[in-house]
Amino acid sequence: MKKITNIMLTCMICMQMIGCNNQNSNLNDKLIDNKKSLINSFASDNFTIKSVDYSEAFNGIEGCAIFLNNNKKEYQVYNEEACKKEVSPCSTFKIISTLIGLKKGILTSTETKMNYNGTKYPIDDWNRDLNLKEAFQASCIWYFRSVIDKVGQDSMQEEINKIHYGNCDISEWRGRSINSFPELNGFWLESSLKISPKEQVKILSNIFDGKTDFSNENIEILKEIMLVDKINNVFVYGKTGTGGEDNAWFVGMIEKGDEKYSFAVHLNKGKGNEISGQKAKEIAFKIINQYYK
């Protein structure tokens, strides 16, 4: 009888321990979810949220736009819920991979060259040796795949954790084979890494306001290759990104004297072939020209 009682007590203790472990696991999951929600929440910044109507610029295409002025502590937001949804960053991640490549010494200037391997790629501008500026402006995937591989997965994970880049998930290091050539795939291309427009502008704002550990010298190199427009004293820096049928980006920063606006335009639904990074860029410039110049 005593033996049976001891067995029963042992079983009860084990069940309690399992229950505690499950509770701890659930608690950890909740803490992670809460932290994620906080990072992607407008309320967490204690900034003013100003709803704006940019529907004329979008002209029937579904998407969102967000502009952040850190000095005024104000978000100007078109379609707030869409601005909080995380999706693949696609080629907008070249902004971050450039800074990390520069920080690690893999890239040293706009002239840092990577050698073309002879493969016939679908974009002619990719079929030659390229330097950083050329590769960034041609949005050459194989160039940045090479940079990212030289950084390495552990170092890359450490760096994107520091800046809280979206969900920080680079577990699918080689991507999901959405392109036929292995060097044209990666975690940032319709794969594990995801980020919201709101998170994009916050990170860009931190970078250009000197609130990260990326050096001023490297940020100036980034600005040189990101510059897409200059009128009088207004400078526009940006990068496009195109994923699937429901994912197109244009993100960047406007510099107007002492004022800086970080911005993101994201498109998720259009007619025919309307969804592209180039289309997002066109919409962004309609907004910028009307409201920010």
pLDDT tens column, 145-182: 999 999 999 999 999 999 999 999 999 999 999 999 99
The pLDDT score that the predictor gives to residue 40 is: 57
- Is 91 a catalytic site residue? yes
Rounded average pLDDT over 103-112: 99
The pLDDT score that the predictor gives to residue 171 is: 99
Are 190 and 243 in contact, with CB atoms under 8 Å apart? Answer: yes
Task: For the chain, give the mean pLDDT.
Answer: 89
The pLDDT score that the predictor gives to residue 272 is: 61
pTM given for the model: 0.86
For 34, 152, 193, 239, the CA distances from 173, given in Å and listed in that order, are 26, 10, 9, 22
Domain tally, the chain = 1
Confidence band of 16 (pLDDT split at 50, 70, 90): very low
On the CB side of 18, CA atoms within 13 Å amount to 6
In this structure, what DSSP letter does residue 259 have? E
Residue 128 lies in domain: 46-291
Q: Would the CA dihedral through 64, 245, 278, 208 be positive or negative?
A: positive
d(CA 260, CA 229): 15
The pLDDT score that the predictor gives to residue 43 is: 58
**84 falls within a domain:** yes
**280 falls within a domain:** yes
Read off the CATH number of the domain in which 272 is found. 3.40.710.10
The pLDDT score that the predictor gives to residue 236 is: 99
**19 falls within a domain:** no
**31 falls within a domain:** no
**111 falls within a domain:** yes
The one catalytic residue among 88, 91, 97, 146:
91
Q: Would the CA dihedral through 200, 221, 255, 242 be positive or negative?
A: negative
Give SS3 for 208.
helix
Give SS3 for 261.
strand
Query: Residues of the chain with pLDDT > 70: what percent?
Result: 84
Rounded average pLDDT over 81-102: 99
d(CA 42, CA 225): 30
**194 falls within a domain:** yes
**41 falls within a domain:** no
**156 falls within a domain:** yes
